[in-house]
Amino acid sequence: MKIVNHNIQIDGIDKKILRALMEDARTPILEIARGVGISGAAIHQRLRKLEKSGLISGSKFVINPKVLGYTTMAFIGIFLDKAISNPEAVKQLKKIPEVLECHYTTGNWSIFCKILCKDNEHLMHVLNRDIQSITGVSRTETFISLDQQIERQIKI
């Protein structure tokens, strides 16, 4: 089965390559080639095509934040006094290293952020000193994650 988008077509071979690399991005190309039944050069060509299409946006090592002492994950709903405050608020949020994600949302909040802190005291410090002091932020609502139960990418 081919998945067809206006920008890219991926076939079963592409899916096998992507699944192998999503499982472990350090899997040697020749190992993938043997498993798929095509040459290493063909794997490289397909990967270049997938990167050029934008489907693959890179590869990275995943750091375990708990090893570094970051144990408190929280989600912050941010209320802005005016929608026009959004670009400046996001600019200021980018400067806060504990902010991992920032989303412009529908619903109650103007902005929804995922942040990672060492502990609850650190979280309180980031909230009070950094986030709530941003011009345009009228208030925040915080949800502490007790446990991440699912983590995955989209299925290919």
All CATH 1.10.10.10 domain ranges of the chain, comma separated, are 3-53
Whether CATH 1.10.10.10 fits 3-53: yes
Q: What is the CA radius of gyration of the chain?
A: 21
Span(s) in the chain for CATH 3.30.70.920: 65-145
Helix (H) or strand (E) holding 144: strand 137-145
Return mean pLDDT, the chain.
Answer: 93
65-145 CATH: 3.30.70.920
User: Which candidate, 24, 29, 97, places its Cα nearest to that of 61?
Assistant: 24
- pLDDT tens by residue, 80-134: 999 899 999 999 999 999 999 999 999 999 999 999 999 999 999 999 999 999 9
pLDDT digits (tens, 9 = 90+) for 42-65: 999 999 999 999 999 888 888 999
Considering the entire predicted model, what is its pTM? 0.83
